[in-house]
Amino acid sequence: MAANLTQEQANAFAEIFQDPQFKDPKKLMDVLHGVGVMVCLGLFHMAFSRLDIATDFAIGKFLSVTPEEAHLITAGMMFGRKARLLAGLISRSDHPRKAAILSEFNAIRGNNKREILLHGHIYQQNEEDRTVSFIERSVSGEFKATVHTFGLRDIAN
């Protein structure tokens, strides 16, 4: 549970934002929780976007093609397919640090939280325990929906 705000802190927020509803510490914490979720999700999406483009460039490097050719090769590929391609290229290479590169890259690939946060649907935000839940839907086989609940620290990590 997040720390509670004092009445004095809530009043300061209400004055800064010129909004009397923020004088209620609980209401203000609810708003801040929602903002925190949005910020964490935004940072996560930005970081993943950078990883995705870095993967494209790395594929190009290991194939010894130009950046333009790398983007032609990877255009329209989902990250999982690109990740499998890059891991295969790394493992077949004679790069002196390939074991370390594969270890780090596979740690990122193995994080299924990424799929839930990128492709899941926000189901609810629980203001009491400061969590947010996502629905993950199966993409193959028998259809099933699974609810995953994260706190802000879980998303940020």
State the chain's maximal CA–CA distance in angstroms: 64
pTM of the predicted structure, to 2 decimals: 0.65
- The two tokens of residue 130 are 């400061």
Amino acid occupying residue 57: F
> Which pLDDT tens digit goes with each residue over 72-101?
999 999 888 999 999 999 999 999 999 999
| Higher pLDDT, residue 86 or 113 | 86
Which residues are within 8 A (CB) of 11 and not within 5 positions of it... i.e. 6 or more apart? Answer: 23
DSSP state for residue 77 in the 8-state scheme: -
> Which pLDDT tens digit goes with each residue over 42-59?
888 888 889 999 999 999
Is residue 22 exposed (0-12), middle (13-18) or buried (19+ Cβ within 10 Å)? buried
DSSP state for residue 6 in the 8-state scheme: P
